[in-house]
């Protein structure tokens, strides 16, 4: 959802409507109140001194016989504009000072950070009063004093946000390219820290308004004959027992204006922060269900039975994402499979074919903005589906110790701020009822089991002190704390070099053989998949197009055109050197007529399951046009 759409959505809520009304009123009063009521508010009437509320003066009059309400309305302009100016000056100088340490670096940078930290140690209002006294008693001096008081906090916030972005790879890439630091800060850092700074600025403006009123109340800000809410409060307090409204009305105005800025910050926050926990609108859900009914490949309510020995099984798994305002996009479409206990199943397919989404939906780790459903799903004998009104059921589960997940990037899957050992031990503490000492001992044992050398010492190290392969093994060790029945491994070796890759594969195989743990293994490396796995699921454009044994796949007995095209891209010992590798062209379409998939569907079979001969009867020869070039003589021969 774009920022504009999120803003609109936020404004449609009751809080949004309230914020809109409050901001609109404050803006109107700031711009026009002095012009409309300013003259009448300045009229003194000695016959009307300190009058109680009446028809003529809704909240009574002050000590000079002036209308309290009209003066409060007319004072909006000065009160709000001064607070806004202080905020803009404070935020801009704070952002600049917060970014300087990155731009200057070295000793100068460290001195600035130290200065910011000292400034933060002083309470903001105290700083504002001190600077206001130094700079003189005027509205401008008070504005400057508030801006200066704001600076350290904003400097610290900006520095912290910018420092968290500074370590990212795209910044390193820009530095390697020799982009000047100030340009990196402007082009790469600032846009990434802008949103939280803006949200904070809106809320800070409310604080600045209260501070400014405070300074005027103390006689340090606006001076007579000018007046703002603080000045009115100052004048009204001395007569609070005679005309309470003279102090109460400007006091209430300060509170309401402050709350308006808080509401503005709230709405800005909603508009600028992508909401990952957004649920689908009922319109989108209706659309989704209609689409599900249209596309259903198996009659609803009669899913194919699960295999007896399966540890994980799912029927008609669908993952959809909201697309535009009312539409949905199907990302995983009617996928059904079984994983037997102790089996290693590979999942292959081109990038974006839905491999990770399939695994993530089984692990219950899908982004909440996605909608997942299945006709039936079972893990370790437990039903995972929540059926709703005859519609495909949504999956709802949380496994803890029985299922482990290994991700592609071991650096981002381990928390860089915590010791590796304590992250491995966490499962023991959370799920196995161990105390700290037992969890530590078990974690060291698991680290040893995955061949982390000197595990006791390594337990207390941070992820950055581990090599890539060690981090990945530590992730696997964390998953093994609870003796899982299934490991979901999403490209666990992609980020590793071949020797470390081999270590991880050996480790997974050993775990599978020794503990009987089933593994679902996603990879782009078909050679690795066929050597590790007994069976391979082939995915194409969100669908499972073939379920084939590794042996058949290796022997070239793939039934589906896409699987064969994929196999043709794998170099063999006979692949001529020096020639470009075979690839599947972007425009190739295996989902349409004529390929093995279409043949399978025509026969009422969604997935080609291991029956190579049957599927071969499909007109798979059309594949030839889809494979750009294959250099494998065996394949050429087969095609002839």
C-beta of 103 vs 331, nearer to ligand ATP: 331
465: DSSP letter: G
What CA–CA distance (Å, rounded) separates 260 from 551?
68
The interface region with ligand ATP, picked from 12-20, 362-370, 393-401, 561-569 by CB under 6 A, is 362-370
C-beta of 101 vs 349, nearer to ligand ATP: 349
Site pattern 332..351 for ligand ATP (x: CB under 6 A) = -----------------x-x
Question: Does the footprint of ligand ATP cover residue 560 (CB under 6 A)?
Answer: no
C-beta of 102 vs 565, nearer to ligand ATP: 565
Nearest to 33 by CA among 67, 63, 61, 5: 67
Give min distance, CB of 361 to ligand ATP, in A: 9
Question: Does the footprint of ligand ATP cover residue 600 (CB under 6 A)?
Answer: no
Number of residues that bind ligand ATP (CB under 6 A): 13
Identified binder of ligand ATP from the candidate list 71, 289, 355, 473, rule CB under 6 A: 355
C-beta of 403 vs 452, nearer to ligand ATP: 403
C-beta of 348 vs 377, nearer to ligand ATP: 348
Question: Does the footprint of ligand ATP cover residue 267 (CB under 6 A)?
Answer: no
Identified binder of ligand ATP from the candidate list 367, 382, 513, 638, rule CB under 6 A: 367
Give min distance, CB of 173 to ligand ATP, in A: 20
Strands (E), 435-499: 486-490
C-beta of 29 vs 332, nearer to ligand ATP: 332
Helix (H, G, I), strand (E, B) or coil at 453: coil
Give min distance, CB of 358 to ligand ATP, in A: 7
* Torsion over CA: 404, 406, 411, 413 (sign): negative
What CA–CA distance (Å, rounded) separates 520 from 502?
17
C-beta of 221 vs 322, nearer to ligand ATP: 322
Give min distance, CB of 495 to ligand ATP, in A: 12
Question: Does the footprint of ligand ATP cover residue 357 (CB under 6 A)?
Answer: yes
The interface region with ligand ATP, picked from 119-127, 257-265, 367-375, 550-558 by CB under 6 A, is 367-375
Give min distance, CB of 421 to ligand ATP, in A: 30
Give min distance, CB of 607 to ligand ATP, in A: 17
Give min distance, CB of 335 to ligand ATP, in A: 11
Is residue 271 within 8 A of residue 96, CB to CB? The reply is no
Provide φ and ψ at 351, rounded to 5°: -60, 130
Nearest to 319 by CA among 376, 396, 372, 277: 372
What CA–CA distance (Å, rounded) separates 510 from 520?
15
Nearest to 299 by CA among 315, 312, 284, 310: 315
Give min distance, CB of 366 to ligand ATP, in A: 8
Is it true that the peptide bond before 225 is cis, omega within 30 degrees of 0?
yes
Question: Does the footprint of ligand ATP cover residue 356 (CB under 6 A)?
Answer: yes
C-beta of 331 vs 344, nearer to ligand ATP: 331
The interface region with ligand ATP, picked from 280-288, 303-311, 363-371, 456-464 by CB under 6 A, is 363-371
C-beta of 3 vs 238, nearer to ligand ATP: 3
541: DSSP letter: T
Identified binder of ligand ATP from the candidate list 48, 76, 316, 353, rule CB under 6 A: 353
Give min distance, CB of 351 to ligand ATP, in A: 3
User: Maximum Cα–Cα distance for the chain, whole Å?
Assistant: 112
Phi/psi region, residue 541 (left: phi>0; alpha: psi -120 to 50; beta: rest), is left
67: DSSP letter: B
What CA–CA distance (Å, rounded) separates 487 from 480?
9
What CA–CA distance (Å, rounded) separates 426 from 386?
29
Give min distance, CB of 354 to ligand ATP, in A: 4
Is residue 440 within 8 A of residue 425, CB to CB? The reply is yes
Identified binder of ligand ATP from the candidate list 221, 230, 354, 428, rule CB under 6 A: 354
Give min distance, CB of 370 to ligand ATP, in A: 5
Question: Does the footprint of ligand ATP cover residue 76 (CB under 6 A)?
Answer: no
**Which residue's entry shows tokens 């028809």?**
55
**Which residue's entry shows tokens 């394949």?**
635
What CA–CA distance (Å, rounded) separates 350 from 388?
33
What CA–CA distance (Å, rounded) separates 634 from 639?
9
Give min distance, CB of 479 to ligand ATP, in A: 19
Q: Which residues contact 328 (CB under 8 A, 6 or more apart)?
A: 280, 284, 287, 288, 291, 320, 321, 322, 371
What CA–CA distance (Å, rounded) separates 317 from 85?
56
Question: Does the footprint of ligand ATP cover residue 331 (CB under 6 A)?
Answer: yes
C-beta of 355 vs 535, nearer to ligand ATP: 355
Give min distance, CB of 313 to ligand ATP, in A: 20
369-408 binders of ligand ATP (CB under 6 A): 369-370
DSSP output for 178-199: T--HHHHIIIIIHHHHHHHHHH
C-beta of 204 vs 356, nearer to ligand ATP: 356
Question: Does the footprint of ligand ATP cover residue 321 (CB under 6 A)?
Answer: yes
**Quick one: 478 exposed, middle or buried, by C-beta within 10 A (0-12, 13-18, 19+)?**
buried
Give min distance, CB of 337 to ligand ATP, in A: 15
Is residue 414 within 8 A of residue 463, CB to CB? The reply is yes
Question: Does the footprint of ligand ATP cover residue 529 (CB under 6 A)?
Answer: no
What CA–CA distance (Å, rounded) separates 513 from 124?
64
Interface residues with ligand ATP (CB under 6 A)?
321, 331, 349, 351-357, 367, 369-370
């Amino acid at each position: 959802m774009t920022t504009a759409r999120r803003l609109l959505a936020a404004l449609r809520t009751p809080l949004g409507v309230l914020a809109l009304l409050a901001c609109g009123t404050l803006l109107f009063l700031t711009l026009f109140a002095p012009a409309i009521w300013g003259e009448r508010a300045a009229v003194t009437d000695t016959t009307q001194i300190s009058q109680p509320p009446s028809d003529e003066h809704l909240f009574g009059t002050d000590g000079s016989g002036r209308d309290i309400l009209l003066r409060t309305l007319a004072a909006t302009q000065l009160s709000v504009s001064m607070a806004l100016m202080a905020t803009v000056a404070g935020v801009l100088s704070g952002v600049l000072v917060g970014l300087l340490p990155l731009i200057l670096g070295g000793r100068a940078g460290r001195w600035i950070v130290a200065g910011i930290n000292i400034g933060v140690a002083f309470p903001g209002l105290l700083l504002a009063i001190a600077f206001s006294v130094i700079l003189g008693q005027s509205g401008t001096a008070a504005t400057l004093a508030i801006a200066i008081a704001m600076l350290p906090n904003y400097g610290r916030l900006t520095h912290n946000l910018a420092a968290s972005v500074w370590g990212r790879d795209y910044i390193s890439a820009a530095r390697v390219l020799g982009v000047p630091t100030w340009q990196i800060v402007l082009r790469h850092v600032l846009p990434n820290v802008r949103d939280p700074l803006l949200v904070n600025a809106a809320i800070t403006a409310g604080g600045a308004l209260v501070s400014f009123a405070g300074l005027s109340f103390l006689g340090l800000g606006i001076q007579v004959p000018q007046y703002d809410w603080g000045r009115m409060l100052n004048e009204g307090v001395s007569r609070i027992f005679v005309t309470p409204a003279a102090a109460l009305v400007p006091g209430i105005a300060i509170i309401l204006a402050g709350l308006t800025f808080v509401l503005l910050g709230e709405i800005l926050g909603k508009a600028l922060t992508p909401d990952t926990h957004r649920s689908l609108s009922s319109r989108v859900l209706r659309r989704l269900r209609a689409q599900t009914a249209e596309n259903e490949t198996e009659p609803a309510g009669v899913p194919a039975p699960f295999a007896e020995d399966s540890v994980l099984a799912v029927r008609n798994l669908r993952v959809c994402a909201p697309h535009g305002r009312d539409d949905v996009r199907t990302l995983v479409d009617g996928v059904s499979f079984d994983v037997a206990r102790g089996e290693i199943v590979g999942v292959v397919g081109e990038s974006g074919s839905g491999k990770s989404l399939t695994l993530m939906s089984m692990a219950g780790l899908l982004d909440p903005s996605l909608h997942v459903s299945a006709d039936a799903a079972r893990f370790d004998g437990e039903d995972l589906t929540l059926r709703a009104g005859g519609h495909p059921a949504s999956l709802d589960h949380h496994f803890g110790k029985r299922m482990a997940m290994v991700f592609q990037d071991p650096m981002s899957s381990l928390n860089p701020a915590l010791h590796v050992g304590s992250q491995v031990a966490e499962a023991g503490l959370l799920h196995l009822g161990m105390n700290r000492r037992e969890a530590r001992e078990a974690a060291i044992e698991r680290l040893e089991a995955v061949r982390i050398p000197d595990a006791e010492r390594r337990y207390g190290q941070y992820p950055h002190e581990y090599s890539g392969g060690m981090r990945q093994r530590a992730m696997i060790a964390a998953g093994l704390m609870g003796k899982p029945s299934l490991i979901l491994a999403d490209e666990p070796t992609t980020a590793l070099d071949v020797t470390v890759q081999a270590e991880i594969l050996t480790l997974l195989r050993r775990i599978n053989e020794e503990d009987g743990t089933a593994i679902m293994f996603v990879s782009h490396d078909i050679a690795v998949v066929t050597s590790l796995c007994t069976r391979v699921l082939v995915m194409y454009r969100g669908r499972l197009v073939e379920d084939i044994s590794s042996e058949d796949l290796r022997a070239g007995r793939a039934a589906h055109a896409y699987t064969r095209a994929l196999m043709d891209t794998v170099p063999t010992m006979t692949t001529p050197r020096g020639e470009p590798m075979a690839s599947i062209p972007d425009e190739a379409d295996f989902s349409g007529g004529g390929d093995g998939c279409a043949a399978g569907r025509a026969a009422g079979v969604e997935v080609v399951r291991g029956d190579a001969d049957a599927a071969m009867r499909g007109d798979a020869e059309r594949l030839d046009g889809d494979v750009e070039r294959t250099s494998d003589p065996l394949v050429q021969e087969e095609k002839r």
